[in-house]
A and B are shown apart, each in its own frame.
Chain A
Amino acid sequence: MQIQEKIRPQQAATRKQSWVDRLPAEVAAVLTEFRSAEVSTLAKDGTPIAWPMVVLYQPERGRFVTTTSIGLPQKAYNVRRDGRMSILYSNPTASGLTNPPAVLVQGDATAPDEVVTWNEDLRQLWSLLAVRQPGSNVYATNPLGRALMDWYYMRLLLIIVPRRILWWPDGDFSRAPREIEVGNVG
């Protein structure tokens, strides 16, 4: 039993590493450089609804993280009801990439019922937005912005473990996508 417990984390890490390592460089670049992605959750009636969101790709943890304010909690409610989720990277604006592929990540998400105002994920998120969305910095720096927008900084995490990653070379959806099966990791 002790041996199994020691081996399991190693196996999980190896499996997580395998799909991250198998991603073509141009696909990994999309996951880190695209400014927004269309993140889809399932509404109560089963309708998949997409919203443009900023997504953190955390290859070292084999997962994706996005967040929403508790003032806009519907995406988290959807995930708590049904964790099936997808992330499409199809808008290359400001990415600096030339003819990048479009990438679709399908996976299983969790949305803990914990209001987070600071952790390592949020540190990464605010750091990213500081340079990619400089206009948003004003909310945190002036007293009026803080008073009116504090709700925006009370966050719920959505953590996505991928099961399947597809991509369309050159962002050309008229061609069949390529695919990496990720499976049930971790």
Chain B
Amino acid sequence: MWAELVRYHALFDSAVLTGRDAAGYPFSVRCVPRPDAATRTLRLTLLDGTPLVPGPSSIIWHSHDEQLSSLRNMNLRGTLERDAAGWFLRPLQLLPLMGLGNPLAVLPFLIGAYRTTKRYLAKRGLPRPAIPWAKINEAKRHAEMAQRAR
């Protein structure tokens, strides 16, 4: 996990750390994690007085282009900790990558989503709903025309 994490981390300028505040709500900040090979942790510089509290946390690296395409995503679960040198995240689990590594990895993702859909409907005794393609495409056409008219 560590080698993969360091390799793909290098492709991004920054990442988003999400921990929890004292009230238990998710609290996110953009930051620049620094891999520490000796301890296999990610060192973090956080603002003095940050409301983040030590505990379960995650870091997401992601990007998209001007057309919300070329999506790339890496999500790491871990624990946010603090020592004399400051804050760091101890990695626990790297979630499946998106847009990074093997392009065929999208296939299990799509197959999984298709199967989850079937299970979601079956568990509730619901028929597969018909998608109102005409309404969706009409809304899209209308939005595209409005955009061109600007």
- Chain B positions 111 through 137: 1 when the CB is less than 8 Å from some CB of chain A, otherwise 0: 011101100110010101111110111
30 A-B contact pairs sorted by A residue (CB < 8 Å) = A36-B68, A38-B62, A45-B56, A46-B55, A48-B19, A48-B56, A48-B57, A50-B26, A50-B58, A50-B60, A51-B75, A52-B73, A72-B116, A84-B25, A86-B18, A86-B26, A86-B28, A88-B30, A93-B65, A113-B124, A115-B120, A117-B130, A123-B139, A132-B68, A133-B68, A135-B67, A137-B140, A141-B137, A163-B25, A173-B31
B139 lies within 8 A of A130 (CB):
yes
Q: Which residues of A contact B63 (CB under 8 A)?
A: 91, 93
Interface of B is mostly: mixed
A131 lies within 8 A of B144 (CB):
yes
B26 lies within 8 A of A41 (CB):
yes
Q: How large, as a class, is the contact surface on chain B?
A: 35 or more
Within 8 A of A (CB), among B58-101: 58, 60, 62-69, 71, 73, 75, 77, 95
Q: Does A104 contact B (CB under 8 A)?
A: yes
Within 8 A of B (CB), among A101-157: 102, 104, 106, 113, 115, 117-118, 122-123, 126-137, 140-141, 146, 148, 150-154
Known: A49-B58, A70-B117, A88-B28. 7 other contacts (CB 8 A): A48-B27, A50-B28, A52-B60, A86-B26, A104-B29, A122-B136, A140-B140
Q: Which residues of A contact B147 (CB under 8 A)?
A: 130-131
- Chain A positions 29 through 65: 1 when the CB is less than 8 Å from some CB of chain B, otherwise 0: 0000001101011110111111110100000000000
